[in-house]
Amino acid sequence: EDIVIEQEDYILPFGKAWVLQEIWPQDDMETLSIITYGMGVHWAFNATKGMRGQVEIIDLRTLFPLDETTIMKSVKKTGKCLVVTEEPSNNSFALALAGKIQETCFKFLDAPVMTIGSENMPAIPLNSTLEETMIPSTEKVKAKIHQLMSY
């Protein structure tokens, strides 16, 4: 289950999300979509070890233009959605995206769209212990996945 890294130069398609971890619709188990970008891709991928058939991961790659088609298709398939970001959650792009997903996919959702991001602080602390506390991690994402799966 390794990610293939391209060895040659290549161009990312502008405005096209990457389905990093794809799942098939499941009738016998809970599923969810993780919509993320940046470091969130790393946290989401590592947090879903052992849940590969239950969690679809979408790497946005660009925020504008936004690939709404890929996002909404995934969320409608899984019925649950977690938006993972590095930025503080309050007043964030991730929170706005969660609202857009909730509005567009409401009839298909089995739970509220959730977000996880940095703690809402004015700046990242220079102390490494405080920084660890503030910024999301694989373990924090995993805990949020379990919370969302319990709906």
pLDDT digits (tens, 9 = 90+) for 9-35: 878 889 999 999 999 988 899 999 999
3-state secondary structure 46-80: HHCCCCCCCEEEEECCCCCCCCHHHHHHHHHHHCC
In this prediction, residues 41-63 reach a mean pLDDT of 97
Please name the residue that has the structure tokens 């994402």: 141
**15: left (phi > 0), else alpha (psi -120 to 50), else beta?**
left
Q: Which three-class secondary structure state does DSSP give residue 13?
A: coil
What's the Cα-to-Cα distance from 22 to each of 95, 96, 103, 113, 128, rounded to whole Å? 23, 24, 23, 19, 34
Could you give the CA distance from residue 63 to residue 93 in angstroms, rounded to a whole number? Answer: 9
User: Please, are residues 79 and 31 in contact by the beta-carbon 8 Å criterion?
Assistant: yes
- 14 DSSP assignment: T
Break the chain into its structural domains and give their ranges.
Answer: 18-119+126-149
β-strand pairing of 32-36 with 18-21 = unpaired
In CATH terms, 18-119+126-149 corresponds, of 3.90.1150.10, 3.40.50.261, 3.20.20.10, 3.40.50.920, to 3.40.50.920
DSSP H or E run through 142: helix 138-149
pLDDT digits (tens, 9 = 90+) for 60-94: 999 999 999 999 999 999 999 999 999 998 999 99
pLDDT digits (tens, 9 = 90+) for 99-144: 999 999 999 999 999 999 999 887 777 888 888 889 999 999 999 9
Residue 1: predicted pLDDT: 56
Residue 3: predicted pLDDT: 66
